[in-house]
Structure 1
């Protein structure tokens, strides 16, 4: 595929984890972990654990939160094919000649994939951030890919425009 600056985009969508319940859960878990660590280091019967354990736990909790805040799913369709970039974890390019078909659909994130993120189902891999809508892309290899989208019909239309007329 060519560089991002050389190709004309037919579709682009960027999604981030912005669900309030998810952030409340993440921050709540981090808060509990930090509180338990503080108590074990400085509590009434302190564990002999050194203070560096506290620093490590707080650092990991902060890093986890920052990583989660930076994470985003970018789906692009150009004349070359599909780019799925799950920043900063994964970048996947699917050349147009590897695409057999596609369709917009509603899926069950928890039941089908165990939640959102980069997930492996029984027969496919999913790249999702939120919601229950996406585009099922059948590859010539037979291994399908689900791309979560807030605009699945537009994404499917852009991908379908890459396919040869049938």
Structure 2
């Protein structure tokens, strides 16, 4: 395998249930007022719309991972500012591993405002990167065997 590409979404059943309850609760609250709609302030309307927008937005977000001859890239669309690129020459170690999302990183998503950092969507398998500067970054994957094939092809990995 020459290039590995993976797209992942937040599709956990419990996340769907929570978002649905929040969205329904906000919609019911919004329409339960007896005031006419034109009496609501703009702030009131916007603040009540934010919950459903975020709830629906979670299902539109995708995490993209690409591994090729240049290195490893990961980002969350539609947010290109989240893009991280790691060139092979910048990396000291690369390997797949099983991890504990909650205890190691505090859950899923863009994790680790300090150190270590992780981009993950679901599951407990990931691509562990260690840069030559000693920084760690974990990228969640649902396809660790395919990732291992590409890593072996492009990176002389001492941890196999």
Query: TM-score, normalised on structure 2?
Result: 0.82
Gap change, CA 1:141 and 1:117, over 3 Å in 2: same
Residue 65 (structure 1) shift? 2.9
Question: Are residue 144 (structure 1) and residue 130 (structure 2) matched?
Answer: no
Provide structure 1 residue ranges, at least 5 long, that are not aligned to the other structure: 1-7, 44-48
2:87 corresponds in structure 1 to: 95
Question: Are residue 65 (structure 1) and residue 59 (structure 2) matched?
Answer: no
After superposition, the CA RMSD in angstroms is 2.6
2:121 corresponds in structure 1 to: 129
Number of matched residues?
154
1:33 corresponds in structure 2 to: 26
1:17 corresponds in structure 2 to: 10
1:76 corresponds in structure 2 to: 66
Gap change, CA 1:52 and 1:42, over 3 Å in 2: farther
Residue 23 (structure 1) shift? 1.0
Provide structure 2 residue ranges, at least 5 long, that are not aligned to the other structure: none
Do the aligned partners of 2:126 and 2:140 also contact (CA within 8 Å) in 1? Answer: yes
Query: TM-score, normalised on structure 1?
Result: 0.79
Report SS of the residue matched to 1:35: helix
